[in-house]
A and B are shown apart, each in its own frame.
Chain A
């Protein structure tokens, strides 16, 4: 029971991370296309400046919770996916540094360097997270001891790559919508146009991913046993459609929220489909890591649950406050430019 609760919390943490950091990863990914003028590039950076750091902590928490609640899963997941995870880390470091360093010097080459790093540091994590998660959905070749028996090429299989593309598009779409909310007229129009274009691709990739999932994974088994769960992929698709409809009506907030719903439900669709496995083994189902054979002791799970029940609501309250602080006022003040650093 405790394990199941933690499994759900684990899935929700990843979903929240993808929804929040998803938009700034997406903005970075489309920034070379939208940031034609220095003014636009500045607006792009300012659209995420107050938020990205707080967003990224959800990744650290998702990682930390995997470590705390399911240590064996943490050990196998991170060592099996060694190279992609290290690449992801390097990319995230570059992104953070780009966001911090770019404005520090008035020099075109300097700014260009960090613009490049922002793109790489956003696109690469989006792609790798997609590759990593779809490989988990599919199962990876781990043996009885949890030792990974493949190479990085094993992970770059068609299903994994399709998952990577899906994540990149989901985030890019999400990011374009955030720019619609946050930026002034000129960039808003081009962002909205970009969101519409990405949306068509996204719909096609999402539909193929759902179909490919039936062939490449056993995720649907849980859905066949409990058809009511099919509400998750249905909501994910509905989120995409409603997001497009809201975008057409220039209801930016609503479009962004529906896109967030699509990302969250897509993540949960994968996670719930895996239950009770966390890392299915493609060699032998008996080697799979499940919530039962990888969970922490009951005492640790209980303490962690108490910590989560106390602190997560507090975190949500002050993060929501911080979002409000930087959103509401900036609408009155036009842009956030010239503030502090």
Chain B
């Protein structure tokens, strides 16, 4: 094992783990803000109880998300110093802007919100959760711009042995970043919707707090329905964008080896682990890949064999992750649509509720697969076409990286298990008792 493999493993562990908590932060902050707004506008105290109940889940999730995010920032310096030096001019500034413009806001107002129930007016308290929601989604904007620059570097010139910024606007406004942002955030909202529906289904199945959890379920359902459909359309555009910007990743998504016109999609395919062809392919539908990539069934799509072997991503992983992600994405649409038709008779649909309870972890899997497609599909480049991952690694000893990798695995596993256990515990405990009405 060399520091490169270990550093990649370590970064993967840190990223996957961090992203177990980010999506729920993005979506739940918005939903809680909506709940509190409804409370302020309608005066119905049940909305306040909803905000408080989901808020407890949110806070535990949030803290673990924050601390694991710090790790990622530091790892660029500790494990990827070659990268930091080479692209710090651009990448570093995006991270710094995220901290200054978004993260401060989020961290300050999360405390104001969590501890300020009795210190602020209902309106001011509601504003504080909106600030948290806006800041966490703004954080995502900056982080995803930074990530998109690794996928499709623009606005720079190579000078003084590094990439130097020449056009800031090009970096922040590029299409790749916009598509990535919508894709990631929509995925996060779908996940949030499913978590809310799953947790609500648990109580609805037990026939307890039915008004509270029917309302919650519907809010989660609307979020999941809108964004799962959006995600399907947007995901397609995102894929088509790859044809131009990351042809190797696009070819890997469908395991297309030979450059061809009317490129097909196979219903079933299995790329070989040796990364030079498919072990089997079956169910050829000609033209579909050309259609998806170029919106023209006759168009020519570049195959992987046209790229030198050392420039191809690991096709097997990319291909399988992509297929599974898309399958899950379609499943989310179907489950949400089914929920829409059952929205008024949830309590008489125990089968559906049970299904939604068991579906809760699936969006987490889909998010992890999405990152696998994005990051493994970019290999062997750390910055696509510009810098190889192997050139980016720090000159640190194997033992140091191995030691911290073990540290991450142990610490993160413990914290992860505890965090999800605590969240499940809150959810099972149900909302606070209804407040005594004034005058009693």
Q: A: which residues have CB within 8 A of B? A: 49-51, 53-54, 56-57, 59-61, 63-65, 67-69, 71-72, 74-79, 82-83, 85-86, 89-90, 92-94, 96-97, 99-101, 104, 145-148, 296-297, 299-300, 303-304, 307-308, 311-312, 315, 318-319, 322, 325-326, 329, 336, 339-341
Cα distance A311–B162 when bound, in Å?
28
Which of A53, A64, A94 is B92 in contact with, Cβ under 8 Å?
Answer: A64
Number of interface residues of B (CB under 8 A): 69
Cα distance A90–B89 when bound, in Å?
28
Task: List which B105-145 residues lie within 8 A (CB) of chain A.
Answer: 105, 107-112, 114-120
A67 and B407 form a contact (CB under 8 A):
no
24 contacts between A and B (CB under 8 A): A53-B111, A54-B104, A56-B107, A57-B104, A57-B107, A61-B103, A64-B96, A64-B98, A67-B73, A67-B88, A71-B162, A74-B88, A75-B77, A75-B82, A82-B404, A85-B78, A86-B407, A90-B407, A90-B411, A93-B70, A311-B104, A326-B119, A329-B119, A339-B118
Q: Is B305 an interface residue (CB 8 A)?
A: no
Cα distance A69–B60 when bound, in Å?
33
Given A75-B81, A96-B66, check contact A299 B166 (CB 8 Å): yes
A307 and B101 form a contact (CB under 8 A):
yes
With contacts defined as CB atoms under 8 Å apart, how many contacts are there between chain A and chain B in the complex? 222
Which of A50, A64, A99 is B73 in contact with, Cβ under 8 Å?
Answer: A64
Given A61-B100, A93-B71, check contact A50 B115 (CB 8 Å): yes
- In chain B, what residue has the closest Cβ to A329? B119
Q: Which residues of chain A are within 8 angstroms of B422 by Cβ–Cβ distance?
A: 101, 104
Given A67-B88, A93-B71, A325-B119, check contact A51 B111 (CB 8 Å): yes
A67 and B76 form a contact (CB under 8 A):
yes
Cα distance A76–B71 when bound, in Å?
17
Which of A77, A83, A89 is B70 in contact with, Cβ under 8 Å?
Answer: A89
- In chain B, what residue has the closest Cβ to A152? B400
What 8 A-B pairs are tightest by C-beta distance, nearest first? A71-B88, A78-B77, A67-B92, A64-B96, A75-B81, A68-B96, A68-B92, A79-B81
B74 and A85 form a contact (CB under 8 A):
yes
A60 and B103 form a contact (CB under 8 A):
yes
Q: B: which residues have CB within 8 A of A? A: 55-56, 59-60, 63-64, 66-68, 70-71, 73-74, 76-79, 81-82, 84-85, 87-93, 95-101, 103-105, 107-112, 114-120, 159, 162, 164-166, 168, 394-396, 400, 403-404, 407, 411, 415, 418, 422, 425
